[in-house]
Amino acid sequence: MNHVSLPASWRSVLPHLDEPLPPDRSPESPAGGSDAGVSVNLPFALVRQSSQNREFWDIPAEVLDAYRSFRPTPLWRARRFEDAVGARVPIYVKYEGGNISGSHKLNTALAQAHYYAKAGVKELVTGTGAGQWGTALAAACSMFGLRCRVFMVGTSLQKKPYRGTLMRALGATVHASPSELTDVAARVGGGVNSLALAIGEAVEYAGRTEGAAFCIGSGETYSILHQSVIGLEAIEQLAELEATVDSVVGCVGAGSNFGGIALPFFADAATTGAECPRLVAAESSTTPKLTRGVYAYDKTDATGVSPMEAMYTIGSSYPIPDSHSAGLRFHGAAKVISAMRHRDQVTAQAVGQVEALQAGQAFTRSEMVLPAPESGHALAVAARLATDGGSSRGVVACVSGHGYLDLSAYQQLLDGELTTEPPEEQALVSAMDRLRPVPGLAVAGSGRGV
C-alpha cells in the first residue's frame, strides 16, 4: 500500500485526440440529419464537460468532500496473485471496491447528483445492470437530497436480491426490468432482459415525470471524465513505488472503468512525450463489441428516441446471452473509447465468464480480496499479459469493485456449473447488418482483437 493526494481536478483526454468525436445524430435522421448533440435535460456543467477541449476541470468542493470518505483508493503490487498465475512481470492492482456502492461507480454518481441538484432536479432515474451503478446513484442521491428510482435488469436482481435491499436502504425505489411501468417494456415483451432496456425504461419514466431527470452511469464523456481520478491516482502511486508498467487494463461495459484507469495514462504520455503504455479493454465474450463489433451509429437504449452515437457495437437489437457480469452486458462502447479504438490508441481482449471467475477466485485466495465478476475479466487479461501476452515491464489492472453480492456466481464456479455461452455468429451478423457505418471511418478498425 502507499499514499497519494486526492486529485483536485479531473483530467479530460479530449484535447489529446487527433480529431473531434463524431457528432451524435438524431434518431429521426440517422443518415445524416441534424446533430442531436447531448440530451437537453443535462445540467450545463455536464454539457460543457462533454464538448469542450479543456483538459483539467476543478472538482467541486462538495464532491471533493464526499470523495475524501473513500479516496485515494489503494494500489499495490499483487505478488501472491503473480505467483498464482505464473506471471513473469509485476502485476499492480488499483482497488475501487472500498465504498458504500462497492465499485468505481460512486466517482461519477456523486458528481452527477451534485450537478443535477444544483440545476433544481428533484429525482434521478436510472437503469442498472449488475446493480453497482444503481447503488452508487442511490448513495449519491441520499447525500445530495434527491429522490432516486432505479430500473435494474430483472435476471440480475433475481440473482443478487441484496443489491435491491441495499439500494432501498439508501432510500431508492427499485423496479425489476422489464417492468409494467413503461411503454418500451410493453413493446419489447417480457422475455428481454438487457441493460439497454433498463436504461430505456428509465429514459421514458424520467421524460414523463415532472422534476425528474435521467442519469446514466457509464459511457457518456462526462462520466468517463469523472472517473479519471482512478488513473490520476494510479500514475502517482506507481511513481511513488518507482514502478513502470507497459500495459494498463480495465473491464469494459460501456467504458467508464476502463476510461477511468487508462485515459489519464494516454493524456500523461501525450503531455510528457513519454511512450504510452498499451491500453487494453477487457470485455465479456458474450458482448464482444470491441473485438467483433463494427464502428457504426447505434442506439444507446431501447427507446429509440435518444441520440444515435458513433460507437463500436454488436447492435442494440442483439439478444445478449445471460451471464454473471451484468455490468458488461451492454451492446456498445463509449464514444471516446470507440474513437480511440478505431485509431488503434486502445486495444481489446474478450474473456469468457469461466475464465473471469477463475481469475477472480485466484485473486481471492492470493490477495484476500473478492473481486466482482466484471473485475475478474480485467484480472484475467492482466494474467494473460503478464505471462505470455507480451508485457515486458509490468501491468496495472483496475479491480472495479468487490464481489460480496455476487457469491452465487462464485458458488456456481465452485460447483462446476458455470459455463460460458458464446455469441451466435448469425445473430451477431443480423444485429449489425442494418447499422449505418460512421462516415469516412467505417473500414479500418472494424472487428479487431489482439
Alpha-carbon dihedral angle through residues 104, 108, 110, 115, given to the nearest 10 degrees: 180
Residue 404 clears pLDDT 90, i.e. is over it? yes
Average pLDDT over residues 195-204: 88
pLDDT, residue 400, reads 97
pLDDT, residue 160, reads 87
By CB neighbour count within 10 A (0-12 exposed, 13-18 middle, 19+ buried), where does 64 fall? middle
Taking the C-alpha atoms of residue 412 and residue 432, their distance in angstroms, rounded to an integer, is 32
Q: Which DSSP state fits 103?
A: B
Strands of the sheet containing 173-177, edge to edge, are 173-177, 147-153, 123-128, 212-214
Q: Looking at per-residue confidence, does 29 or 232 come out higher?
A: 232
pLDDT, residue 299, reads 87
Reduced to 3 states (helix: H, G, I; strand: E, B; else coil), residue 175 is strand
Q: How confident is the model at residue 394 (pLDDT cuts 50, 70, 90)?
A: very high
Taking the C-alpha atoms of residue 361 and residue 414, their distance in angstroms, rounded to an integer, is 9
The percentage of the chain sitting over the pLDDT mark of 90, rounded to a whole number, equals: 72
Q: Which three cell numbers stand for residue 357?
A: 471467475
Give one DSSP letter per residue of 387-422, joined into a string: HTSS-SS-EEEEE-BB-TT-HHHHHHHHTT-----P
Taking the C-alpha atoms of residue 373 and residue 166, their distance in angstroms, rounded to an integer, is 19
Dump pLDDT digits (tens) for 25-80.
877 554 444 334 444 478 999 999 999 999 999 999 999 999 999 999 999 999 99
Q: How confident is the model at residue 446 (pLDDT cuts 50, 70, 90)?
A: very low
Dump pLDDT digits (tens) for 142-174.
999 999 999 998 988 988 899 999 999 999 999
Q: Determine contact, residues 408/353, Cβ cutoff 8 Å.
A: no
Range with the lowest mean pLDDT among 85-99, 112-126, 205-219, 342-356? 205-219
pLDDT, residue 96, reads 98
Q: Is the dihedral of CA 51, 53, 54, 55 positive or negative?
A: positive
Strand (E) or helix (H) holding 268: helix 256-272
Q: Determine contact, residues 10/264, Cβ cutoff 8 Å.
A: no
- pTM of the predicted structure, to 2 decimals: 0.93
Among residues 55, 60, 58, which one has the least CA distance to residue 268? 55
Q: What count of other Cβ atoms lies within 10 Å of the Cβ of residue 415?
A: 8
